[in-house]
Structure 1
Amino acid sequence: MIQSPAAEAARRRTFAIISHPDAGKTTLTETLLLSGGAIRAAGQVRARGENRRTRSDWMKIERERGISVSASVMTFDHQGLMFNLLDTPGHEDFSEDTYRTLTAADAAVMVLDAAKGIEPQTLKLFEVCRLRDIPIVTFINKMDREAQDPLELLDEIASKLVLNPAPLFWPAGSGGRFKGMLDLRSRLFQPFERSAVEREQAGHPSPVPGDGAAMDAYLTPEERDELLESVELVQGASPAFDPQSFLEGHMTPVFFGSALRRFGVEQLLDGLGAYAPPPRPVAALRADVETHVAPGDPEVSGFV
C-alpha cells in the first residue's frame, strides 16, 4: 500500500552517531543493523578475515586503519518504522564530512566509552549538534570492561555539556562484575550473558522482575543490594525523563550496554523509535520569500 509523503515521513527516524575515535561507534552501527534485521552478521573493526568486513567502513583505507573516514547512510525497517542511520567519521582529520552529515540528522546518538567519558572530539561534535538543535540520545558503551562510576559519568554529562542526563536503565556493576541492567521504568532486570557461544545460540536471557527473588539467579545478595541502593540514589538525584525536554535539547536519555557483546543495543533502538523525532519542517527561501519546507511536500527539495 502506497502511503502519502506526509505519512511516510512520519515513520522515518534519521539519526547520526557521534563519538570520539575508538569509543565503539562503528561497532554500534553494525550491531544496530543486525538488531534491525538489515544484516545477518555484524562486522568488527578489530577482528580478522570476514568478521572485519563492516558495512559502514567500506573504503580500503577504512578497513586497513580501522577508522571511519567518510560518511555513509544505511536504511532498515524495524517495528513499522524506517531508520536512516548516518555513520560519520570519528577521527578529527575527517570531521568536515561529519559536520555536513549532521545537517541531515533529526537526532544523534552520542557514544561514550564507559572508562573514558566525554573526550575532545565528542565535545566538538556535541557543540555542532547543539548549534543545530539536534536532540541527543546517550549510549554508554563498553560496560563489560572496567568503567568509571555511572554516577560520575552522569555528572560529567551534566557539567561539561550542560545537559540533563536521564537514565532509562541502570547497570549492575562493570567489567568482570557486570551482570546486566535494570529498566527503571518497567523494573525488569535484563541479565548480561558473557559467553559468546551461548549468546549466539539463544540470545541474552529474558528479563526478570527486578524487585524479587528472580534476580538471585544472576546476582549475589550483595550485588542485588548494591544495585537497588544505587538505583534509589540515581532516581533521587536525576530528573525523570521528559520527552519534550529531550526534543528541545535540554535532556538526554541515557542507555548502557556493550555494542561488541550486542547488549543494550535493542533497548537503544527501541528508544530511538519511541523518542527520536521524525523529519520536521525546515526554514527555506523560495523566490526570496521566507518559507518552510514540510516533510510531506510533494516537490523534491535538497540542502546545498
Structure 2
Amino acid sequence: MEKVALEHVRNIGIMAHIDAGKTTTTERILYYTGRVHRMGEVHDGAATMDWMDQEKERGITITSAATTCFWNGHRINIIDTPGHVDFTVEVERSLRVLDGAIAVFCAVGGVEPQSETVWRQADRYRVPRIAFVNKMDRTGADFYNVLNMMKERLGANPAPIVLPIGAGDLYTGLVDLVNMRAILYVDEYGRHFEYSDIPNDMQEEAEKWRRQLLEEIASYDEHLMDKYLAGVTITGEEFKLAIRKACIDGTLVPTLCGAAFKNKGVQRLLDAVVDYLPSPSEVGAVLGYDVVSRKPVEREPTDDAPFSALAFKIMTDPYVGRLTFFRVYSGQVKTGDFILNANTGKRERVGRL
C-alpha cells in the first residue's frame, strides 16, 4: 500500500440511523476515490461494504466493514458501521478506534432515535464529527429543519458550510459558504458540476449564513476575531483552518448536504473529510496500561514509539480464514513480528498483513 505521511491519514467512520443512506454514501465515496469502478447499490445486494449474506438479503449493514481509499493525496481509512438499533454494540466497538466520523442524516426524517444513540456514543469517545444531510432530492427534504433537530435533540452545534439550492425535484446544487460560490450540477445524476456565481435570489441568505459562520468560528480563533472586528477580509483558507480547529476541539460540527444516490455532494463531502477531520497526529497520545505493572502508559502516534494497537473486529473469510482488524496507535508492525496479547499475556506471531 502507498505510504502516506501521518498528517495525511484520516481514520473515519460513517454512522447514521437506518435508511439515512449511509451505505449508499459510502459506496459513492469509494467510487469517486477510485476504490471501486462500479457503484454498488443496497437495493440490489451489491454494496461493497455489505459483505455478509444477511446484509445483502436485508439491505442493511449489520457488522462494521473497513476499507481504504485515497483523495487529494490523503489516505482515508473508512469503517461503515451498522445503523440498525439491534447492532449498537458493533457501533460502540468501532467508535473506539476512530479519529473522526461522518454523521449521515435523512433530509426528510432528520434526527431519529438511533441517531441520538450513536451520537452519544461518539460524544463518549470525543470523536470529532462532520454531518451530511442526505436525500435532499426527496419530497419533503428540509435542510434547515435537520439543523434545528441536531441542536434540540443532540445538543450539537451544527455549522453549515454549504446551503442547498432548492430541494426535492428542484435540488440543483450547493452554495459554498467558505469560498462564496455556487456549485451547480449539470446533469440529473450529479456526475458533473460547475462553479458559478451565487444565484441572485440566494445572495442575501448566503451572506447571512456566512456571517453567522464567521462569528461562530471567530469566537474560537483570536487572530480571526481581530481581523473580523477590524473589518479585514477573511480568506477561504483562513476559514478552513478555523473551522478545522473548532471541529477537532468538538465545539462545532461542519454540516453539508447532498443526495448520495444521485451522486450530489459526495465530492464536497470528501473535501470536508480532508479539510476538517483530524489526522492521528492531531488526536495525540493514547492512554493504556502496562501488562506487567498495570501502571498507566501513554503512547505517542509516532513510528519510533513501541508498538501498540487495539483489535476491534474479528472476521472469518472462507478463503483466507480468520482476519483481525486492529487500529495501530503507535510504532510499526510487519509480517512475522511477535506481539503481546494483553488479554492472554501471550506472545502471538503476526501472519499476513
Q: Is the contact made by 2:136 and 2:143 (CA closer than 8 Å) also made in structure 1?
A: no
Higher relative contact order (CA 8 A, sep 6+): 1
* Alignment of structure 1 residues 231-250 onto 2, 5 Å: 231-238=206-213, 239-240=216-217, 242-250=243-251
User: Are 2:18 and 1:11 equivalent residues in the alignment?
Assistant: no
Which residue of structure 2 lines up, in the alignment, with residue 220 of structure 1? Answer: none
Amino acid at match of 2:192: H
Alpha-carbon distance in structure 1 between the residues aligned to 2:140 and 2:181 = 23
Q: 1:194 to 1:21 in 2, by over 3 A?
A: farther
Any unmatched runs of 5+ in structure 2? 218-241, 312-353
1:230 to 181, 205, 221: 205
Corresponding residue SS for 1:43: coil
- What is the Cα deviation at residue 86 of structure 1? 0.4
1:202-242 residue CA offsets vs partner (Å, 9 max, x unmatched):
x32311122xxxx5xxxxxxxx41x2343244345553463
Corresponding residue SS for 1:10: helix
Corresponding residue SS for 2:309: coil
* Alignment of structure 1 residues 167-186 onto 2, 5 Å: 167-186=160-179
Which residue of structure 1 lines up, in the alignment, with residue 252 of structure 2? Answer: 251
Q: Is the contact made by 1:137 and 1:254 (CA closer than 8 Å) also made in structure 2?
A: yes
Alpha-carbon distance in structure 1 between the residues aligned to 2:75 and 2:254 = 21
Which residue of structure 2 lines up, in the alignment, with residue 301 of structure 1? Answer: 308
Which residue of structure 2 lines up, in the alignment, with residue 278 of structure 1? Answer: 279
Q: 1:235 to 1:251 in 2, by over 3 A?
A: same
Alpha-carbon distance in structure 2 between the residues aligned to 1:206 and 1:2 = 31
Q: 1:209 to 1:133 in 2, by over 3 A?
A: same
Amino acid at match of 1:42: M
Alpha-carbon distance in structure 1 between the residues aligned to 2:208 and 2:139 = 21
- What is the Cα deviation at residue 297 of structure 1? 4.1
User: Are 2:34 and 1:27 equivalent residues in the alignment?
Assistant: no
User: Are 2:40 and 1:43 equivalent residues in the alignment?
Assistant: yes
Which residue of structure 2 lines up, in the alignment, with residue 53 of structure 1? Answer: 46
Q: 1:297 to 1:247 in 2, by over 3 A?
A: same
Amino acid at match of 1:119: E
Q: For this pair of structures, how many residues does the alignment match?
A: 279
1:135-160 residue CA offsets vs partner (Å, 9 max, x unmatched):
11000001111244332221221222
Which residue of structure 2 lines up, in the alignment, with residue 63 of structure 1? Answer: 56
Q: Is the contact made by 1:76 and 1:82 (CA closer than 8 Å) also made in structure 2?
A: yes
User: Are 2:91 and 1:98 equivalent residues in the alignment?
Assistant: yes
Q: Is the contact made by 1:178 and 1:192 (CA closer than 8 Å) also made in structure 2?
A: no
User: Are 2:294 and 1:288 equivalent residues in the alignment?
Assistant: yes
1:20-62 residue CA offsets vs partner (Å, 9 max, x unmatched):
000000000000111111111111112x4xxx41110011110
Amino acid at match of 2:97: A
1:205 to 193, 197, 208: 193
Alpha-carbon distance in structure 2 between the residues aligned to 1:178 and 1:228 = 17
Which residue of structure 1 lines up, in the alignment, with residue 265 of structure 2? Answer: 264
Q: 1:235 to 1:10 in 2, by over 3 A?
A: closer
Any unmatched runs of 5+ in structure 1? 216-223
Alpha-carbon distance in structure 1 between the residues aligned to 2:188 and 2:106 = 22
Alpha-carbon distance in structure 2 between the residues aligned to 1:110 and 1:147 = 20
Q: Is the contact made by 1:194 and 1:261 (CA closer than 8 Å) also made in structure 2?
A: no
How well do the aligned residues superpose, as a CA RMSD in angstroms?
2.0
Runs (4+) off by over 6 Å: none
1:95-135 residue CA offsets vs partner (Å, 9 max, x unmatched):
11111011111011000000011001011000000011101
Percent of counterpart pairs with the same letter? 30
Which residue of structure 2 lines up, in the alignment, with residue 83 of structure 1? Answer: 76
- What is the Cα deviation at residue 263 of structure 1? 0.9
Which residue of structure 1 lines up, in the alignment, with residue 66 of structure 2? Answer: 73
Alpha-carbon distance in structure 1 between the residues aligned to 2:139 and 2:203 = 20
Q: Is the contact made by 2:243 and 2:276 (CA closer than 8 Å) also made in structure 1?
A: no
Q: Is the contact made by 1:24 and 1:259 (CA closer than 8 Å) also made in structure 2?
A: yes
Computing the radius of gyration over CA atoms, which structure comes out larger, 1 or 2?
2
Corresponding residue SS for 2:13: strand
TM-score if structure 1 supplies the norm length? 0.86
Alpha-carbon distance in structure 1 between the residues aligned to 2:210 and 2:116 = 26
Alpha-carbon distance in structure 1 between the residues aligned to 2:160 and 2:16 = 19
Q: 1:56 to 1:135 in 2, by over 3 A?
A: same
Give 1 or 2: higher strand fraction.
2
